[in-house]
Structure 1
Amino acid sequence: MVALMVETGGPVHHFAVHRLGKDLNLASYARTSEDSRQRDCHGVRYQLRINERTAHEYGCRVVATYTDNGRSASKEGVVRHGFERLIEDLTLGHTPDGRPLDGVVCVADDRLYRRPEDLARFFTALTSRPGRVYLDPEGCRDPYGQEGLMQALRSLDVAATETQVRSRRLRDWHWARAAEGVPHSGPRPFGWLEDRLTRHPREAGLVERAISDRIAGKPVRAIARDWCDLGVTGTRGGRPTAQTVTQIITAPRVCGYRSNRGKLLLVPGTDRPVLGNWEPIVAPDSWEAVCGTFSPGSLYLHRGSGAPRRTGERRTPARHLASGFLRCGARRSDDARCHGAMCAQKGRSRRSPYVYTCRSCGRCSISGPLADEALERLLLAGPPAGPALTEEARRCWESGVLAERRRIIESVLLHCLVLPGVKGRPTWNFSRVTAVWR
């Protein structure tokens, strides 16, 4: 048995080739981008089988599996619970049941990461302990050596290029459909039947009446309440709100116009809108009149893909320091952390006039002042293995301007993980908040 030693410009790392054997415990990771047809998780199952075969070929054993079914790795803001749990266990050095982790096996690099920040987090967690390996069907890789890192960067570049090409093809495909007047894909629009062409006998009448009432000056909230009283639900089963009613009655489709990515499509060389091949609900002048009763930030055409829901002038600034930076650390039924966004809402005491609560699971809340103070402590202390804030950043922080402080937080932190509290504990526990640094 020969141990391969790789020098990376710093300390010499001992690559664990000599340890490949049944005593090497591996974490198996699998991910698919979508599972919309069969919805049976067959993609991740197949990947896990391949991982088992790869581990067996190298005499290793899989002691833990981590999966993300139907979760994109290239879209910003998508939380992959399996990946987050893998990073957490690699950093801790063991599985939840206490078995040590000596490496990771995966079918391909792009299953693990397609974004530079995910690559950095994965390699940081993987190499946080000495002697670990990374396996795929192509062979065993040294995560500590320069060649291993360069191979990972090449894979990242290929994945990024592939993502851009696929995204462009998908945009072109949607545009071509729109230019031919084909209805939008996805769930059926409110007001039409499942064929997306024929008017719904009840919903179309509600939309037509709502447009007339709104032009006459009726508030949208009152229209939404009327729909709720009638027992109306959206095409996904939700209760009507002022926001959804506004989206429905200002959508160009109600008068037969076709839009794409938040813009009204025009016939090339003319100023005439492209007409869809479905039955309209109202005439174009009625649609233009109802749109004129709303501010630009509320219109459907300002809410398409790639367009902001509200204009920059109308965007409401954050009122609290930690707003948007907190993620829920509660455990789900599969033992993965929730990682849902925690939003501020009114509290019930003078000590906690506002609280941050997870809007995904609702099982984790924390006092607003406690979370803000914990975040400030973490920021001023700096990361354990990195430099603290610069003097200029500290001066900006001491100025007390909320916008400046939030800008500093965004520059050094990805988010903060908030662990669930313990009922009956009278004192604030600042250790509930842990930072995930950039």
Structure 2
Amino acid sequence: MAKPSSKWQMHPDLQRALADGQTFEDWLGDRKPCCSYARITLDRREEKGVARQHRNCDEFAAQHGCAIVYRYTDNHITAADPDIERPAFLRLVRDLRARRVEEGHPIHGVFVVEEERVVRLPEDYLKLHRALTVDKNGLYGVTDTRTVLDVHSDAEMLRGLLTSAMGEREVVRVKRRVSRNVRDQALEGAPSGPRRFGWKGADPRAGRKVNEELDPKESKVLRVAIDMALSGKHWSSIVKHLDDSGYLTNRGNKWSTTPVQYMLTNPALCGYRMIKGELIRDPKTGEPVVGKWEAICTPEEWYKLIDRCPVWFNLDGDTASTRYREKVQREGKKDFRGMAEATRRFLLTNIARCGYAKEDGTICGAKMKGMGPAGTNKQDRYRCGDPRCNKVSRRADYVDKAIERLVVKFLEKQFAALKPAEKPWYGEGTLSALVAKRTEIKAAYKANAISMAEYLDFKDSNDAQITASQKDRDDYYAEQAAKNFLAGFTREKWEDFDIRQKRKAIATVLQAVIIHPLPQGRARSSAFDADLLEPVFRAVH
């Protein structure tokens, strides 16, 4: 199956014209400069689908006196999931708002074969619409319907918002309403949210709300897990207990350490509620609000449970965190910030993966955790973090040195001859125009040329455009800095990197390092074998 890929590049016709010595202006003539966007969710035709989309856009743009300057492509990427990023779409929005591409050529609009190729969600439509309406030159062409939409008209804005289900202002109102409702329910002690493990779901016929009553069977399993945590049992033992119970998580997944930690530190266990890291308290008494649902532990037990996972909580807020901080100061222990710093000494944190082969032919694939010396192991080690596996362990210093040699060699080849770039933000003209427009709006209101309602509408819209353009500029310089970080790379430069910079450089090159187990019959005391490390290089967009 094809892998997701994103790219943005100059139109082949323009590339050839420039290579032949023709100027951009001569190539463009009296046509309006635009771009095209193509996307396919499932690519089974080796990019033929997106190529056809771009070709159709070329033909339709030509019919309307436009020339496609740039092509943006997200291949094998869905547009219906807000958690899946579309790099080419985001670059398209940035360039449209800047009204030019990085090479300096102008673009005023975009052509697509059908709207769902470019927007499927309200937030995507609003991103595109804002970019197109940053000035009066925006153009939006849809090939299948043979239409060029007037993006500046109220009718088009309404149509677009209805098509994408909800407008930006309504989204904000809904979010506020939901947040207010959640807090109101919490203050009233009403049970809410998705069903939690250990509690029954909603039953309207019986008048039962979700998470109101304990489930007899699940709650027994949950209570044993709580007792194990209170007695100091290792998280892997608690995960094994939940696995052995025969139950899956409420999402149908197998149990793992992090979800179990969240479950066993949820304040709902003792009847409390927490929003954004702070306990919900009675405004009059200041005491935590006790919810109207069956609790499975006492508040005292819950405070002990969160002592094992203080990282989940806001240290400047609730009583539980305050008690933890006092305990830290009293006992002279490191708080979670110190523990986080300790994990950063491992070079391949979040990159090393377990390569243990399972019976079905797949590998475990769990992240390898960095572990300090313990027992007979006198050195730091990477060990499989899946409590159901835990079958692969390897000395960290040997692994790090092998990967360092690989990465340094790759970086020398790719970045040694690269010169640091210091290109100015190519959308500065748009940003300056928006800032100037803000001054004009204020002047018009002071001169009584527009009403307060008109002033607020113009101001809010213009301020949103300025904020978006400033973010584009900041992102551009951040990307440039990231590229310059490795420009002119040498082995000497690597030696000067601190651990954070080395990890950043490694993450630029590698997506993962699969650490395979020792072959059957090979002694653990045998010489380190770098061939058991499988680097997975990061795909290039």
TM-score (norm 2): 0.42
Structure with the higher fraction of residues in helix conformation: 2
Bigger radius of gyration? 2
